Amino acid sequence: MTKILIIGQGIAGTLLAFELRKRGAIVDIQDGNLPGASSVAAAGIVNPVTGKRYVKSWRFEEFYPVARQTYRELEELLQLSLWEERPILRLLGTAEETNDWSIRCAQEDYAGYLSERSHAGLWGPLLKPGFHYGLIHQAGRVNLPLLVQSFRQFAMKNGFFSEKTWLPVTQEPLFSAYDKVVFCEGWRGESNSLFPETPFRVSKGEALLLRFPGVDPEHLPTEMLKKTVLVAPLGNGIYWAGSTYRWFFPDTLPGDEGKTFLLDHLHDMLAAPFEIQDQVAGIRPTMIDRRPVIRQSPINPNAFMFNGLGTKGALLAPYFAAQLATQLLQN
Ligand SMILES: Cc1cc2nc3c(=O)[nH]c(=O)nc-3n(C[C@H](O)[C@H](O)[C@H](O)COP(=O)(O)OP(=O)(O)OC[C@H]3O[C@@H](n4cnc5c(N)ncnc54)[C@H](O)[C@@H]3O)c2cc1C
């Protein structure tokens, strides 16, 4: 049986471990619980149509069914609710935005993804006046922090997780104990000398956790909301609002600059008062070309990298973890 060591257990390491075990491999995971991990700050939103031009996400039709199926399998395994499908209410602020939206809605390959809407539903009383609305369908959210944490508990219970940071000098001998070692280190992969010239351009992201104290729980919105920032209901009256993008940053911690940016954009959308419960930050493992990376080390042929999930780990990780697991086991 093939024996594989995975270094790093964010969404990449979690899904790779899951797919390898499904295919009968022996898996061990090491994670050092290092600061700045991305998966534990993320909302895990899967959004089929993004950006100012409302463009469909890369190979969405291929990736989405795999993601949905995989998260349902993980729900079964971990006996948890992790995945939910919810539309996104898109706020359109100008005549040009509204017009561009109508044009997209009329395009054949956007049918089933976008529609126009005349009202804001339960968000209505919480919003500033003057917006037009669109709806994004086939959107969803996987609870990434809960998935990573619960899979870690499962792996501990089953004896295949250890809390350890990979240090090349002391741990290089481990290579001989495994058939393959796969590095799923997120942004920290940038400094892994086994994978020179990987085109990292990592970005810091921050988000706020909010609550609307004046709103009756029965009237709390259940759809996600998007203008410049996205607001997603997490349950129990808590909403995630994010995120920021910074390519140069002095540390991995939440800060005032991120908070101010998010508050400015929230106040552009929301009229209702809200309370901040928490602020989170993480470093996204983004690449220059914004594509995921799977590579074999040019220095050690038994070392592999699974990284570059960027802003879309929730959508991309299931498909690429499955592909990589099959390839690793077929040599
Ligand atoms: C604020 C914010 C919001 C986001 N929102 C979304 C969203 O809504 N939807 C979406 O799809 N994506 C979102 N993302 C992006 C998403 O978080 C990433 O795509 C994804 O989580 C990357 O996962 P990863 O496993 O590659 O890296 P990480 O989650 O960073 O995991 C890497 C792990 O490796 C460990 N590690 C690193 N080096 C070592 C070592 N040498 N030894 C041992 N352990 C090590 C770390 O401790 C960490 O646990 C968001 C990101 C941020 C920051």
Protein residue with its CA nearest to atom 35 in ligand 1: 8
The answer, yes or no, to whether any atom of ligand 1 lies below 6 A from the CB of 143, is: no
Q: How far apart are CA 80 and CA 98, in angstroms?
A: 39
State in Å: Cα 260 to ligand 1 middle.
23
Q: Which of 97, 105, 66 is nearest to 323 (CA)?
A: 66
82 — pLDDT class (breaks 50, 70, 90): very high
Q: Ligand 1: which of 38, 58, 319 to mutate, most ligand atoms within 8 Å of CB?
A: 38
pTM (predicted TM-score): 0.97
175 — pLDDT class (breaks 50, 70, 90): confident
Q: Is the pLDDT of residue 80 over 80?
A: yes
Q: Ligand 1: which of 311, 315, 320 to mutate, most ligand atoms within 8 Å of CB?
A: 311
The answer, yes or no, to whether any atom of ligand 1 lies below 6 A from the CB of 15, is: no
Say if CB 205 and CB 245 are below 8 A apart. yes
Nearest atom (ligand 1) to Cα of 313: 19
Instruction: Name beta bridge partners: 27.
Output: 4
Q: How far apart are CA 68 and CA 49, in angstroms?
A: 17
Say if CB 185 and CB 309 are below 8 A apart. no
Condensed to tens digits (0 to 9), the pLDDT of residues 88-123 reads 999 999 999 999 999 999 999 999 999 999 999 999
**Rounded to the nearest 5°, which phi and psi values hold at 59?**
50, 35
Q: Ligand 1: which of 63, 185, 243, 305 to mutate, most ligand atoms within 8 Å of CB?
A: 185
- To the question of domain 1-82+143-199+289-331 being in CATH 3.50.50.60, the answer is yes
Beta carbons within 8 Å of 4's beta carbon, 6+ residues apart: 20, 25, 26, 27, 28, 178, 179, 180, 181, 182, 328
Q: Where do the domains of the chain lie?
A: 1-82+143-199+289-331, 87-138+203-284
Percent residues over pLDDT 70 in the chain? 99
Condensed to tens digits (0 to 9), the pLDDT of residues 194-211 reads 999 999 999 999 999 999
The answer, yes or no, to whether any atom of ligand 1 lies below 6 A from the CB of 229, is: no
- To the question of domain 87-138+203-284 being in CATH 3.30.110.70, the answer is no
State in Å: Cα 40 to ligand 1 middle.
7
3-state secondary structure of 55: strand
State in Å: Cα 70 to ligand 1 middle.
18
Query: Mean pLDDT for the chain?
Result: 96
Q: Tell me, what's the pLDDT at 331? A: 79
The answer, yes or no, to whether any atom of ligand 1 lies below 6 A from the CB of 38, is: yes
**Rounded to the nearest 5°, which phi and psi values hold at 198?**
-75, 130
Say if CB 177 and CB 72 are below 8 A apart. no
277 — pLDDT class (breaks 50, 70, 90): very high
Q: Tell me, what's the pLDDT at 167? A: 87
The answer, yes or no, to whether any atom of ligand 1 lies below 6 A from the CB of 227, is: no
Condensed to tens digits (0 to 9), the pLDDT of residues 155-174 reads 999 999 999 999 877 677 77
Least confident of 26-30, 63-67, 96-100, 171-175: 171-175
How many C-beta atoms surround the C-beta of residue 23 within 10 A?
A: 14
